[in-house]
Amino acid sequence: MNFTAALIADYLKGTVEGNPEININDVSKIEEGRSGTLSFLANPKYEKYIYDTQSSIVIVNENFKPQKSIAATLIRVKNAYDSFAALLRLYEESKPQKIGISKMASISESATLGEDLYVGDFTCVADHVTLGNGVQLYPQVYIGDNVKIGERSVLHPGVKVYEGTQIGADCVIHAGVIIGGDGFGFAPNQENNYEKVPQVGIVIIEDHVEIGANSTIDRATMGATILRKGVKLDNLIMIAHNVEVGENTVIAAQSGISGSTKIGENCMFGGQVGLIGHLTIANGVKIAAQSGIPKSINEENAVVQGSPAFDFGSYQRSYVLFKNLPKLRKQINSLERQVTELTSIMKS
């Protein structure tokens, strides 16, 4: 499909600077721009590319001031990144949706099926499952007994959902995710072995949640492991039993949340963050990548870094010191030698 600069600007409520009738039919990064494509400039670090880019149209912030001439047509908006994201969402929504149930799918007669479903090859829908309207189950998805999935949720290939799980509307579960596997519950016995503690709870995933590929969400020992509305998880994330993640919290790849930890709303965790169990994390907390959290964070909107993590500003100041420890050690050793020599001279 082709779109003119004027049409795009009208949709974004922006203004055109250049040729309003120029057409685009694809998107590209500004540093790899091609004729007939749309790019955007939001980060000042990439400004150098706008002067040479071959992109036909570039979305920029309305306060952008070019340092030299630009060949591309500009569309000025309040927030270039948000506007570009809105166009990508529009494009994604315009793509035709898969509909239909494969003859090679296995669906229990006791399942309740909504309208306009897509169920791919070798997908299994077990007993008493409820699928809302517009649900998409890609090939090789497994849906266990008594699972409920809300309208328009999408489960990509290879997702496994254990019995009793509840998934809300407009969720996206990427390939290889396992939801509802047993929590890590074992108790030592008199024979010095470990006996498994039955995990009889469920997982509840509210609306508009997205879970990245190959992540795992464990069922609760009792009660529920809960991902609240709007939670976004990256790939390769572990959420243990009885964890609760608050609304609109985002967690980057390879992070792990131990059992019974409660995370507040609007938190942001960098990659490879680790939390021990039974903690409370206040609303709005930000945790830098590779941080380890050994105790609760009760201050809202706190920013922490390190392992064990502490205040971000203090960590940055401390880093200046501890990265120079080898140099300081050499200086101390040198001073010790000088003191020894001076002491020896004074005694003699």
What DSSP string describes 120-172? -TT-EE-TT-EE-TT-EE-TT-EE-TT-EE-TT-EE-TT-EE-TT-EE-TT-E
**What residues make up the domain containing 32?**
3-94
Supply 193's token pair: 């072995």
Q: At 308, give phi and psi (nearest 5°).
A: -70, 145
Q: Which of 267, 270, 203, 195 is nearest to 237 (CA)?
A: 270
Burial of 305 (0-12, 13-18, 19+ CB in 10 A): buried
306 in a domain, yes or no?
A: yes
Of 60, 94, 128, the domain-final residue: 94
pLDDT above 70 covers a percentage of the chain that reads 100
Long-range contacts of residues 109-117, Cβ cutoff 8 Å, at least 24 apart: 114/151
- DSSP 8-state code for residue 299: S
CA dihedral over 203, 248, 280, 292, signed as positive or negative: positive
Both 35 and 177 in one domain: the answer is no
Q: Which of 165, 164, 113, 163 is nearest to 137 (CA)?
A: 113
Q: What is the pLDDT of residue 1?
A: 64
Catalytically annotated residues? 241
205 in a domain, yes or no?
A: yes
Q: What is the pLDDT of residue 134?
A: 96
Domain count, the chain: 2
CATH number for the domain spanning 21: value is: 3.40.1390.10
Contact 32, 15 (CB under 8 A): no
Both 105 and 41 in one domain: the answer is no
324 in a domain, yes or no?
A: no
Both 86 and 233 in one domain: the answer is no
Both 90 and 106 in one domain: the answer is no
Burial of 7 (0-12, 13-18, 19+ CB in 10 A): middle
- DSSP 8-state code for residue 265: T
Supply 271's token pair: 């990659």
Both 189 and 278 in one domain: the answer is yes
Q: How confident is the model at residue 326 (pLDDT cuts 50, 70, 90)?
A: confident
Phi-psi region of 275 (alpha: psi -120 to 50; beta: other; left: phi over 0): beta
Residues 105 and 140: their CA atoms lie apart, in Å, by 9
- DSSP 8-state code for residue 115: S
Both 70 and 114 in one domain: the answer is no
Give Cβ neighbours of residue 127 (< 8 Å, ≥ 6 apart): 108, 110, 111, 145, 146
Of 94, 116, 146, the domain-final residue: 94
Q: Which residues pair with 218 in a beta bridge?
A: 181
Both 122 and 262 in one domain: the answer is yes
Q: Which of 221, 272, 309 is nearest to 299 (CA)?
A: 309
Write down the H helix ranges in the chain: 5-12, 47-50, 80-94, 312-322, 325-347
Is residue 328's pLDDT more than 90?
no
Both 164 and 83 in one domain: the answer is no
Q: Which residue is listed with tokens 């960590």? A: 315
Of 49, 66, 94, the domain-final residue: 94
Q: How confident is the model at residue 322 (pLDDT cuts 50, 70, 90)?
A: confident
180 in a domain, yes or no?
A: yes
pLDDT digits (tens, 9 = 90+) for 288-302: 999 999 999 999 999
Both 63 and 107 in one domain: the answer is no
Both 109 and 215 in one domain: the answer is yes
pTM of the model: 0.84
pLDDT digits (tens, 9 = 90+) for 26-84: 999 999 999 999 999 999 999 999 999 999 999 999 999 999 999 999 999 999 999 99
Mean pLDDT, the chain, integer = 94
323 in a domain, yes or no?
A: no
Give Cβ neighbours of residue 51 (< 8 Å, ≥ 6 apart): 66, 67, 68, 69, 70
Is residue 257's pLDDT more than 90?
yes
Among 232-236, 298-302, 337-341, the range scoring the smallest mean pLDDT is 337-341
Supply 46's token pair: 């990439």
CATH number for the domain spanning 279: value is: 2.160.10.10
Q: What is the pLDDT of residue 341?
A: 87
331 in a domain, yes or no?
A: no
147 in a domain, yes or no?
A: yes
Is residue 225's pLDDT more than 90?
yes
Residues 260 and 16: their CA atoms lie apart, in Å, by 52
Tell me what the mean pLDDT of segment 84-98 comes to: 86
Both 115 and 212 in one domain: the answer is yes
Coil, helix or strand for 15?
A: strand
Long-range contacts of residues 271-279, Cβ cutoff 8 Å, at least 24 apart: 271/234, 274/307, 277/240
Tell me what the mean pLDDT of segment 133-158 comes to: 98
Q: Which residue has the higher pLDDT, 213 or 193?
A: 213
Both 154 and 171 in one domain: the answer is yes
Coil, helix or strand for 341?
A: helix
224 in a domain, yes or no?
A: yes
